[in-house]
Copies of this chain bind each other. A is one copy, B any other.
Amino acid sequence: MTPSLVLSIDAMGGDDAPDIVIDGVAHFLKGRRRPVSFLLHGDEARLKPLLERHGDLKSVCEIRHTESEVDMSAKPSEAVRRSRGSSMWNAVQSVKAGEAQVAVSAGNTGAFMAISKVILRMKPGVHRPAIAASWPAPDGFSTVLDVGANVELTPAQLVEFAVLGEAFHRAVHGVARPTVGLLNVGQEELKGSQMIRDADAMLREAGLDMDYRGFVEGDDISAGTTNVVVTDGFTGNIALKTAEGTARLVGGWLRESLTSSLLGKMAAALLSLGPLSTLRSKMDPRSVNGGVFLGLNGVVVKSHGGTDAIGYATSLRIALEMADSRFLSEIENNLARLSAHEAAFEDREGETA
């Protein structure tokens, strides 16, 4: 077994793990020609029968037995202390050891971030890692970060997220010079907290050689007004889930309009011959499942805890794209530019504190 790419999987993480994890791997591999292999960290007694169900998986999967797993409700600090040797810990450890290029888990987000920080360490110049999500937009994807790791932030940390997100977008979505916006409330409103206004001033004045476009609003994310949208983890997580909920509600309305009348059913029959499946896959939140941890010495991808095999397969696809991209070197380049301005930021932080 000597393939070019290895993904390290926390097979026990997620609401319906390990079943959906193995089903997700199987779904991911369907029709894929490029050789990819998997390290499956978890309970061998449970994983083995699941692999038997998918005969073709055995040749590309290696089970790494673990005795424990991280609880979905564990606090991050607790997880770091108690989870050595767990499936999540070992999944990240395989990346650190160079056995795999990316670690993936659908388990406890806070614990996964804390464990990743301890094992992989942050890149020099990063104070807190962020989670980036790729968000559907009219011409491809927007990058939104942070979507869940950091609830309370300083202005300089938001600037750092801008730098990380811009590098991510260039590497993964192939835009040479991504535009960057800072999420805020409307122009005519109270213009957000002092924290956001300070971050805006820093981004304008820092001379970061970044195409910073100033404040954007919630509806700009799906409009793709800027390629990258920067916010704190609380707001970003709520925006992401609100968008998912809205897509689900609208999907329900659409289904209703295609099933509740004869005309609707006739239209649905026509649409089912083509256009509907495209629309359905675009509207499916599972098609964008996978948050990428930015700022670490290594690539880590988080799947939703409650996803199914199709959603899990999406997070594996994202993991593969990350492994293939110039992502880590782009981040390093951007951080080098940032470090030249760090002293200025720290002075400013001191002033506003």
In the assembled complex, A48 has its CB within 8 A of some CB on chain B: no
Contact at B274–A261, with CB atoms within 8 Å? Answer: yes
One digit per residue, 1 when the CB lies within 8 angstroms of any chain B CB and 0 when it does not, for chain A 185-200 equals 1111110110000000
Q: Chain B residues near A237 (CB, 8 Å)?
A: 185-186, 189, 217-218
Which of B193, B241, B253 is within 8 Å of A282, CB to CB?
Answer: B253
A340 beta carbon closer than 8 Å to chain B? no
Assess whether A120 is interfacial by the CB under 8 Å rule.
no
A266 to B109, CA, bound (A): 46
A221 close to B234 (CB less than 8 A): no
The tally of residues in A whose CB lies under 8 Å from a CB in B reads 71
Q: Chain A: interface secondary structure? A: helix
Q: Is the CB of A283 within 8 A of B250?
A: yes
Q: Which of A222-261 contact B (CB under 8 A)?
A: 222-223, 231, 233-235, 237-254, 256-258, 260-261
Given A109-B189, A185-B151, A190-B76, A275-B263 contact (CB < 8 Å): yes
Interface residues of A (CB under 8 A from B): 72-73, 76, 108-110, 136-138, 148, 151-152, 183, 185-190, 192-193, 217-223, 231, 233-235, 237-254, 256-258, 260-261, 263-264, 266-268, 270-271, 273-276, 278-279, 282-283, 305
